[in-house]
C-alpha cells in the first residue's frame, strides 16, 4: 500500500498538494475519505517539469528581468558539526547598482531563498527590486541548499541519492548558510555596520521570520509574506487550509462550490463503472489511460489549491499563465456550462482554466514523473511536518484526518527516514510562539492575503508594536512581494506602502541607535 502511494507521490510531484481518494468500500459510499497524506506544499516550479516547460518561453517574455550578478559561496554541509564533509557552492544573485555603500550605511536587502530555483524567486519578487533605489539598498538573493544550482555533492543526482546525502537539507542549515554568507559579504565589503533587512514569501517567509528570531544580530528586521509558521503540530488548526480554499470558491459562487463538492463522489462512482476509467480518460483529455480515480482527484485537488494561492487580481504567470481573478473564471466555467452538462464535465471546464488557459495543451499528463524526487517531499518527511486535514462539513473536500503514522510509514519506505514532528516547534517555538514573539521578538511584518489558504497557519494579528500583521481581505499568496502592475488594486498599493513605511522606521531606529553608540 505504502509502496503504491510512494510511487504515486513521485508521479505527481509537480503538483502542490498530495491528495488521494480511497476507492470506497461500497460503490455508492457517501463517506468518501482521502487515504494519502496531504503533505502541504507551497507553490513552486521545477524547471524540469514538462507541464511548466511548455510555458517557459512565455515566462521569459512576461516576467520582468532584473539585473544582477550570479556568484557562488563555499558553504559547509553541516554547520553544527565538524564532520569532514565536502563543501558545496551556494549560488546567490547580487546587485549593488543602487547601494549607498558602507560609509552611508546603505542597507542590504536579503531574500531568504525557498524550495526552488532562486532565479525564479528573484523574477517573482519585483517588490524588492522596485523599492531598492529609494532605499539605496543592495539586493542579495541566496539560493536554498539542495535547490536550483546550489547542490551539495556536485549534482542533483548525487545530492538526492538517498537519506545519507539528503541528510543536510534542513531549515537550520539553510539559515546558517544565510548567516555565513551575509557575514562574509559584509566583512568583504567593510560593510559590517550596514543594516540587513530580510524578505521572504511562503517557506522563504518562514525562513525570514525564523532568521530574525534566531539571528537577531544578523538582520534588523524581516518582511515575512504568507509565512505559515503556525502550521505545525499543536498550533494552528490542521483543516484551515482546505477550509479557506473552499471558502474562496464559495465566495465566488455557492453553486460552483457545490459542484466541486459533489464531483469527488461522481468521480469515484464513474471510475467504478464498466469502462469508467476510459471514459474519464477521454473526458479529462488525459494523455495516458487513467489508472485510478485517486490520481485524477489529486490532479483536481492540486488545481483548486493552487488557484486559491495564486488568485491574483490581474493576469499573472506565477505557476501557470492565468487570467486576473482566475478562481472567478473557473467558477464561471463550472457554473456557465449549458444545462445538461455533467458535474465532471463542468469540473473539467473549470480546471482547464488552470491547466490550459492558453489553449495550447492537447492532452494532460498525470503521470509526468520527469522530476524525480524533489526536495520539499524530503523536507516534509523530516522537519516540515505540517499537519493538514480536510473536513467535508466545513469544506468542499472529502474527509481526511492527518495521519502521522501513515506519514511516517511513507517516509520510512520512501527515504528510510523518520520524521521529527516535534522538532520545528522545539527549535523555533510551539504553542506559545505568539507570546515568545511578543516578549522577545521585534521588527517582523507578517503580511497575508486572507484568500491565501496558508493564511490560516500564519500570524494574522498584531503581536506587539513592532511585530505586526498586515492583512488584505482580497490578497492571495504573497502577492505583496510581486512587482507592481497598473492593475494593482488600492488595497495592494496600501499594503506595500505600509511595508515600506515600517522598513523605513526600522532603518531610522537603527541609524539613530548607531549614531548614539558612536
Catalytic positions, please?
Answer: 202, 452, 477
Among the listed residues 25, 67, 82, 340, the single contact to a second copy using CB under 8 A:
82
Q: In the block, which residue shows the cell 469515484?
A: 268
Among the listed residues 97, 130, 172, 349, the single contact to a second copy using CB under 8 A:
172
| Strand partners for 223 | 199, 445
CB-hemisphere CA count at 13 Å for 345? 8
Among the listed residues 134, 190, 422, 505, the single contact to a second copy using CB under 8 A:
422
The window from 40-48, 76-84, 87-95, 125-133 that contacts a second copy (CB under 8 A) reads 76-84
CB-hemisphere CA count at 13 Å for 17? 29
Give yes or no for residue 216 binding a second copy (CB under 8 A): yes
Residue 359 CB, shortest distance to a second copy, in Å, is: 44
Give yes or no for residue 176 binding a second copy (CB under 8 A): yes
Residue 183 CB, shortest distance to a second copy, in Å, is: 5
Among the listed residues 430, 460, 474, 491, the single contact to a second copy using CB under 8 A:
430
Among the listed residues 50, 71, 214, 285, the single contact to a second copy using CB under 8 A:
214
CA neighbor of 395 nearest in space, from 182, 202, 241: 241
Residue 377 CB, shortest distance to a second copy, in Å, is: 13
The H-assigned helical ranges of 291-342 are 293-309, 326-336
- Is residue 73 within a helix (H) or strand (E), and if so which, with residue range? strand 69-75
Give yes or no for residue 518 binding a second copy (CB under 8 A): no
CB nearer to a second copy: give 404 or 493: 404
The answer for residues whose C-beta is within 8 angstroms of residue 4's C-beta and 6 or more apart is none
Residue 386 CB, shortest distance to a second copy, in Å, is: 17
The window from 125-133, 215-223, 270-278, 387-395 that contacts a second copy (CB under 8 A) reads 215-223
Three cell numbers at 83?
564532520
Q: In the block, which residue shows the cell 502541504?
A: 40
Give yes or no for residue 217 binding a second copy (CB under 8 A): yes
- Torsion on CA atoms 19, 25, 28, 34, rounded to nearest 10: -10
CB nearer to a second copy: give 14 or 170: 170
| CA–CA separation, 280 and 379 (whole Å) | 34
| CA–CA separation, 62 and 77 (whole Å) | 36
Residues 189-208 that bind a second copy (CB under 8 A): 192
The answer for residues whose C-beta is within 8 angstroms of residue 47's C-beta and 6 or more apart is 53, 56, 117, 120
Give yes or no for residue 442 binding a second copy (CB under 8 A): yes
Q: Can you say whether the dihedral through the CA atoms of 279, 283, 288, 293 is positive or negative?
A: negative
Residues 363-392 that bind a second copy (CB under 8 A): 382
CB-based contact 110:196 (threshold 8 Å)? yes
Q: Which residues make up the interface to a second copy (CB under 8 A)?
A: 78-84, 163-164, 166-168, 170, 172-173, 176, 179-180, 183, 192, 213-218, 382, 416-417, 422-423, 426-433, 435-436, 439-442, 513, 517
Amino acid at each position: 500500500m505504502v509502496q503504491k502511494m510512494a510511487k504515486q507521490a513521485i508521479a505527481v510531484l509537480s503538483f502542490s498538494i498530495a491528495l488521494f481518494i480511497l476507492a470506497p468500500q461500497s460503490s455508492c459510499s457517501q463517506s468518501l475519505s482521502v487515504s494519502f497524506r496531504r503533505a502541504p506544499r507551497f507553490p513552486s516550479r521545477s524547471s524540469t517539469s514538462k507541464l511548466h516547460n511548455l510555458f517557459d518561453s512565455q515566462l521569459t517574455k512576461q516576467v520582468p528581468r532584473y539585473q544582477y550578478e550570479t556568484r557562488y559561496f563555499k558553504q559547509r554541509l553541516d554547520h553544527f558539526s565538524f564532520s569532514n564533509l565536502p563543501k558545496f557552492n551556494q549560488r546567490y544573485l547580487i546587485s549593488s547598482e543602487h547601494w549607498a555603500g558602507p560609509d552611508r550605511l546603505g542597507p542590504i536587502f536579503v531574500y531568504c531563498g525557498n524550495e526552488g530555483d532562486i532565479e525564479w524567486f528573484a523574477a517573482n519578487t519585483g517588490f524588492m527590486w522596485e523599492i531598492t533605489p529609494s532605499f539605496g539598498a543592495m539586493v542579495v538573493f541566496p539560493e536554498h541548499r539542495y535547490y536550483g544550482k546550489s547542490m551539495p555533492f556536485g549534482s542533483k543526482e548525487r545530492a538526492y541519492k538517498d537519506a545519507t546525502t539528503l541528510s543536510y537539507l534542513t531549515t537550520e542549515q539553510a539559515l546558517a548558510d544565510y548567516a555565513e554568507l551575509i557575514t562574509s559579504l559584509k566583512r568583504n565589503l567593510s560593510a559590517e555596520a550596514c543594516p540587513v533587512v530580510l524578505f521572504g514569501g511562503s517557506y522563504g517567509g518562514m525562513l525570514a521570520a525564523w532568521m530574525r528570531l534566531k539571528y537577531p544580530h544578523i538582520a534588523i528586521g524581516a518582511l515575512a509574506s504568507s509565512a505559515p509558521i503556525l502550521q505545525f503540530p499543536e498550533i494552528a488548526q490542521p483543516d484551515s487550509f482546505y477550509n479557506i480554499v473552499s471558502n474562496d470558491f464559495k465566495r465566488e459562487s455557492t453553486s460552483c462550490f457545490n459542484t466541486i463538492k459533489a464531483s469527488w463522489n461522481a468521480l469515484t462512482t464513474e471510475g467504478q463503472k464498466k469502462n469508467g476509467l476510459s471514459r474519464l480518460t477521454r473526458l479529462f483529455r488525459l494523455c495516458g489511460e487513467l489508472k485510478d480515480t485517486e490520481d485524477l482527484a489529486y490532479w483536481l485537488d492540486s488545481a483548486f489549491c493552487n488557484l486559491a494561492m495564486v488568485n491574483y487580481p490581474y493576469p499573472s504567470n506565477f505557476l501557470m499563465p492565468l487570467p486576473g481573478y482566475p478562481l472567478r473564471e473557473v467558477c464561471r466555467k463550472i457554473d456557465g456550462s449549458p444545462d445538461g452538462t455533467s458535474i465532471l464535465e463542468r469540473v473539467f471546464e473549470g480546471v482547464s482554466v488552470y491547466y490550459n488557459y492558453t489553449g495550447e495543451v492537447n492532452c494532460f499528463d498525470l503521470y509526468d514523473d520527469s522530476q524525480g524526487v524533489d526536495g520539499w517531499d524530503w523536507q516534509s518527511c523530516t522537519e516540515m511536518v505540517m499537519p493538514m486535514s480536510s473536513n467535508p462539513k466545513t469544506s468542499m473536500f472529502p474527509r481526511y484526518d492527518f495521519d502521522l503514522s501513515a506519514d511516517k510509514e511513507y517516509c520510512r519506505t520512501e527515504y528510510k527516514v523518520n520524521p521529527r514532528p516535534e522538532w520545528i516547534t522545539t527549535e523555533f517555538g510551539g504553542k506559545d510562539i505568539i507570546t515568545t514573539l511578543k516578549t522577545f521578538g521585534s521588527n517582523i511584518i507578517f503580511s497575508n492575503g486572507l484568500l491565501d489558504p496558508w493564511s490560516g497557519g500564519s500570524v494574522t494579528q498584531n503581536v506587539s508594536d513592532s511585530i505586526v500583521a498586515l492583512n488584505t481581505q482580497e490578497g492571495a499568496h504573497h502577492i505583496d512581494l510581486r512587482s507592481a502592475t497598473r492593475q494593482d488594486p488600492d488595497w495592494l498599493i496600501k499594503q506595500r506602502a505600509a511595508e515600506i513605511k515600517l522598513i523605513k522606521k526600522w532603518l531610522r531606529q537603527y541609524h539613530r541607535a548607531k549614531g548614539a553608540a558612536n
